[in-house]
C-alpha cells in the first residue's frame, strides 16, 4: 500500500528546467558582462592604495573644457562672447524659410491708402484684391483695413442671402444629410 502511494506521489517533469545551466558547448549564450566604464575610460585617473587595498577612479565630466581652453580664448565657439564673431562670417540658414521671411514692411502711406480704398468700395476692393495689389496677406488686410461693424454685418447678411438662395436649390435628401451633419456637430 505504501509503495502505491509513493508511486502516485512521484511526479516526473516533462520539460527542461532552467537550472542547472547547460554544459559548455551547448547553444545557450553566456550571460553578458559589460566592461566597467570607469576603468576603461582613457581620461580616468586611477589611484591605488596598496596598504588598504583601495582603488580610487576619477573620471572628469565630458563637458569640462580642454586644458588648452582659456576663458579669454575659449576653444568652443559656444563659449565665445556674442560680439566675438567677425562681421563677414556667414550666417546659418533660416529655420523656417517661407512666406513670412519674404514679407516686406509697408509704409504708413500704403496702409492709409489701403484703408481708404477698402472704405470707399468694399465690394470692389475686397481683402483678396487689396492683398494682391499691396503684395501682402489677406490676414494683414483684415487686421489693418477692416470694415466698420455695420458694413461688415451688411456684407455678412448679403452673403447669407446668397447662401440661402443656393440652399433652396438643394434636394430633400441633400437637405436631410446637411441637417444630420449639423446635428451631429452639435454633440461633438
Written as tens digits, the pLDDT of the chain (188 aa) is 555 555 555 566 666 666 666 666 666 666 778 877 776 777 788 888 888 888 888 877 766 566 666 666 666 666 666 665 566 667 777 777 666 555 568 889 999 999 999 989 888 999 999 999 998 889 999 999 988 899 889 989 999 999 999 999 999 999 999 999 999 999 98
Rounded to an integer, what distance in angstroms lies between the CA atom of residue 171 and that of residue 150?
A: 34
User: What's the pLDDT score for residue 57?
Assistant: 82
pTM beyond cutoff 0.75:
no
Distances (CA, A) of 35 to 41, 46, 59, 145: 10, 16, 15, 70
Domains of the chain by residue range: 106-146, 148-188
Q: How far apart are CA 43 and CA 144, in angstroms?
A: 63
Give the residue from 115, 100, 177, 106 showing the smallest Cα distance to 151.
115
Give the Cα separation of 11 and 9 in Å (integer). Answer: 6
Amino acid at each position: 500500500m505504501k509503495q502505491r502511494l509513493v508511486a502516485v506521489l512521484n511526479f516526473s517533469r516533462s520539460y527542461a528546467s532552467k537550472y542547472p545551466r547547460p554544459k559548455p558547448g551547448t547553444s545557450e549564450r553566456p550571460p553578458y558582462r559589460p566592461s566597467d566604464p570607469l576603468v576603461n575610460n582613457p581620461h580616468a585617473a586611477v589611484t591605488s592604495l596598496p596598504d588598504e587595498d583601495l582603488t580610487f577612479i576619477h573620471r572628469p565630466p565630458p563637458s569640462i573644457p580642454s586644458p588648452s581652453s582659456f576663458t579669454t580664448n575659449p576653444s568652443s565657439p559656444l563659449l565665445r562672447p556674442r560680439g566675438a564673431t567677425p562681421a563677414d562670417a556667414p550666417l546659418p540658414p533660416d529655420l523656417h524659410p517661407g512666406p513670412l521671411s519674404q514679407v516686406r514692411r509697408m509704409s504708413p502711406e500704403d496702409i492709409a491708402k489701403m484703408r481708404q480704398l477698402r472704405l470707399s468700395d468694399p465690394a470692389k476692393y475686397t481683402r483678396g484684391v487689396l492683398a494682391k495689389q499691396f503684395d501682402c496677406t489677406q490676414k494683414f488686410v483684415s487686421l489693418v483695413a477692416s470694415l466698420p461693424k455695420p458694413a461688415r454685418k451688411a456684407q455678412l447678411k448679403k452673403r447669407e442671402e446668397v447662401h440661402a438662395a443656393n440652399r433652396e436649390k438643394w434636394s430633400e435628401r441633400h437637405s436631410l444629410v446637411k441637417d444630420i451633419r449639423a446635428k451631429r456637430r452639435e454633440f461633438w
